[in-house]
Amino acid sequence: MKKVVFLDRDGVINVDVNDYTWEWGKFIFTPQLFNHLKLLVNKGFHFIIITNQGGISKKIYTKNDVFVLHNLMQKQFEFNGIPLLDIYFCPHHSSIEKCLCRKPESLLLEKAVAKYNISLKHSYFIGDNERDMLAAKGAGVEGIKINTNEGIERAVRLILQQSAV
Q: Which amino acids are annotated catalytic?
A: 8, 10
Q: What angle do CA 75, 76, 80 make, to 5 degrees?
A: 115
Contact (CB, 8 A) for 27 and 14: yes
Contact (CB, 8 A) for 87 and 39: no
Alpha-carbon gap, residue 4 to 141, rounded angstroms = 10
Q: Mark 60-90 as b/e (b = at least 16 C-beta within 10 Å).
A: ebeeebbeebbeebbeebeeeebebebbbbb
Alpha-carbon gap, residue 25 to 62, rounded angstroms = 16
Contact (CB, 8 A) for 115 and 131: no
